Amino acid sequence: MIDILGQYKVPATFFVVGEWVDKYPESVKALYDAGHEVMNHSNTHAHYPQLSADEVVADLNACNDKIEKVTGVRPTLVRLPYGDYDDNSVNAVRSIGMEPIQWDVEPSVT
């Protein structure tokens, strides 16, 4: 996939789960080194509306720490697991300077 995206000069944003970063750090590094963004998709893929704000923040920071350790860049975006969120989840995400997004974001064309 990295080769095809590179061939067509298409940058992509990949949202990864922290447990995946643990198993495949070389793949995360390869995505980043190929010029793609690597962002947060939670550490454990929990249903965030079932967690307290502190639990959401801890889960996000755990994944952010892992991604930053591999890429040197701390994520600023999170795609919430299952697309499942509530006001508490969104407020927790934003409390640490991140922005939640869904998978239906239209790419900008320049």
* Interval 49-103: pLDDT, tens: 999 999 999 999 999 999 999 999 999 999 999 999 999 999 999 999 999 998 7
Tokens of 73: 């860049």
Looking at residue 48, what is its pLDDT? 97
Does pLDDT of 1 surpass 90? no
Q: How confident is the model at residue 109 (pLDDT cuts 50, 70, 90)?
A: low
Q: Among residues of the chain, what percentage have pLDDT more than 70? A: 94
Q: How far is CA 24 from the centre of its chain?
A: 15
42-to-4, 15, 60, 67 alpha-carbon distances in Å: 27, 9, 5, 11
What's the chain's average pLDDT? 94
Q: How confident is the model at residue 31 (pLDDT cuts 50, 70, 90)?
A: very high
Q: How far apart are the first and last CA of the chain?
A: 23
Span 7-24, mean pLDDT?
95
Query: Whose CA is closest to 70, among 30, 99, 14, 41?
Result: 30
Tokens of 25: 């750090």
